[in-house]
Amino acid sequence: MAQPCIRILATGGTIAGTSGSATGKAYRAGQIGIGALLEEARALGLGMACEGRQIAAIGSQDIGWAEWDALHRECSEALADEGICGVVITHGTDTAEETAFLLDRTLPTSKPIVLTGAMRPADALGSDGMRNLATALRVAADTGAAGRGVLVAMGDQVFAARDVRKAATQGPEAFRGYPRGSIAAVSPSSLEWFGPPARSGEAALFDWPAALPRVDVIYAAAAMDRVSVDAALAAGANGIVLAGLGQGNAPRGVLEALGEAVARGVAVVRSSRTDQGQVDRNVEVDDDDYGFVAARALNPAKSRILLQLLLASGVSDPASIQATYDN
């Protein structure tokens, strides 16, 4: 019987970064190509075949539509290829949660798709990149990983794209999950799921759009005025996500400006700048009166992605948008 074959899609990031010093802090992302990554992956002795393609060689702060479009196309091709049992995407950690969530909403759950990266460059003392790659390959080769949506494997933990976030600026255990924590514990030699797949046989939740509409994120702060709202509208934003105080609040003048934006046909979603927690409707802010949407458990980054997908799909009324966030 042929070994399972995993397709690795490389985008750069710290996992492909080098610093030239085992103890230095500064480094350059995306310096190691897919050929070298494949050579190291095959040397791990994990008992699976690997092939790879280079999508980009950048830090994930520069990930955008071109890279997302290429990743979606490559993942779709792999899902349709009977010779491929799963996909691993090597990715910078800064925006891994956004890429994972976007792909999670727009791909079926028939085969594992796993993002991984590193918090330390490849030549740093204690680099975590190859261990994370090994664990991601372990997850992608496991039949029990299908039906869970897109996954992120970091720090010997597996997270669902819906829950994962980068919660620390450094350290190999920088990723957390909310409202669920990790859904599996993984090492290069073992994998333990904490529950059964919840999305088996699920089709893509959204069609892949031709483009994503402009949605801006506005960060709330004490004593701020409405200038950032007006700037977003002047730039042509189709939607605005408020990274609000506490339960998605903001100074009264900002809320009023956002209410005016809704009256002009711009979708407004309230999320929170706090690390985790629910943003519920009509708690401190009268969402019904303003026409706002409450982000519930989604943070500002994922709220933006979901709103872009909804608007690209022609969904723009607050009630329908709210129903999607609720679900």
Share of the chain above pLDDT 90, in %: 93
Q: CATH code at 302?
A: 3.40.50.40
- The pLDDT tens digits for 92-119 are 999 999 999 999 999 999 999 999 999 9
Residue 209 belongs to a domain: no
Q: Which domain holds residue 97?
A: 5-193
**Predicted local confidence at residue 267, as pLDDT:** 98
Residues 132 and 247 in one domain: no
Residues 66 and 183 in one domain: yes
**Predicted local confidence at residue 1, as pLDDT:** 45
Pairing of strands 113-116, 86-90: parallel
Residues 254 and 186 in one domain: no
Residues 275 and 189 in one domain: no
How many helices (H) and strands (E) would you count in the chain? Answer: 9, 14
Residues 80 and 224 in one domain: no
Average pLDDT value over all residues in the chain? 96
Residue 176 belongs to a domain: yes
Residue 242 belongs to a domain: yes
**Predicted local confidence at residue 4, as pLDDT:** 76
Share of the chain above pLDDT 70, in %: 99
**Predicted local confidence at residue 2, as pLDDT:** 63
- Residue 23: pLDDT band (50, 70, 90) is confident
- Distance between CA atoms of 237 and 239, rounded to whole angstroms? 5
**Predicted local confidence at residue 241, as pLDDT:** 98
Residues 189 and 236 in one domain: no
Annotation-wise, does 320 bind a ligand? no
Nearest by Cα to 219 from 238, 200, 242, 196: 242
Which residue type sits at 12?
A: G
Annotation-wise, does 317 bind a ligand? no
- Cβ–Cβ under 8 Å, residues 163 and 179: yes
* Active-site choice (11, 14, 106, 116): 14
- Distance between CA atoms of 140 and 128, rounded to whole angstroms? 18
Residues 186 and 246 in one domain: no
Q: Average pLDDT, stretch 45-53?
A: 92
- The pLDDT tens digits for 238-287 are 999 999 999 999 999 999 999 999 999 999 999 999 999 999 999 999 99
How much is the pTM? 0.96
Residues 53 and 180 in one domain: yes
**Predicted local confidence at residue 24, as pLDDT:** 85
On the question of pLDDT at 47 being above 90, the answer is: no
* Domain count for the chain: 2
Residues 86 and 184 in one domain: yes
- Distance between CA atoms of 318 and 310, rounded to whole angstroms? 11
Residues 137 and 274 in one domain: no
Q: Which of 36-40, 204-208, 274-278 has the highest mean pLDDT?
A: 204-208
Residues in contact with 78: Cβ distance below 8 Å, sequence separation at least 6, in sequence order: 7, 84, 86, 87, 111
251 vs 2, higher pLDDT: 251
On the question of pLDDT at 36 being above 90, the answer is: yes
Residue 201 belongs to a domain: no
Residues 45 and 88 in one domain: yes
Residue 203 belongs to a domain: no
CA distances from 237 to 37, 216, 217, 261, 302 (A): 39, 6, 10, 10, 17
- Distance between CA atoms of 40 and 79, rounded to whole angstroms? 24
Pairing of strands 151-154, 157-160: antiparallel
Residues 130 and 264 in one domain: no
Q: CATH code at 154?
A: 3.40.50.1170
Q: Average pLDDT, stretch 161-177?
A: 96
Residue 202 belongs to a domain: no
Boundary residue ending a domain (135, 158, 193): 193
Q: How is residue 62 annotated by DSSP?
A: G
**Predicted local confidence at residue 70, as pLDDT:** 98
Residue 146 belongs to a domain: yes
Residue 119 belongs to a domain: yes
State both tokens at 82: 């009977």
State both tokens at 129: 């990149």
Catalytic site residue 14?
yes
**Predicted local confidence at residue 178, as pLDDT:** 96
Nearest by Cα to 100 from 84, 117, 83: 117
Q: Average pLDDT, stretch 138-142?
A: 96
CA-based torsion, 105, 106, 108, 112: positive or negative = negative
Annotation-wise, does 94 bind a ligand? yes
- The pLDDT tens digits for 72-81 are 999 999 999 9
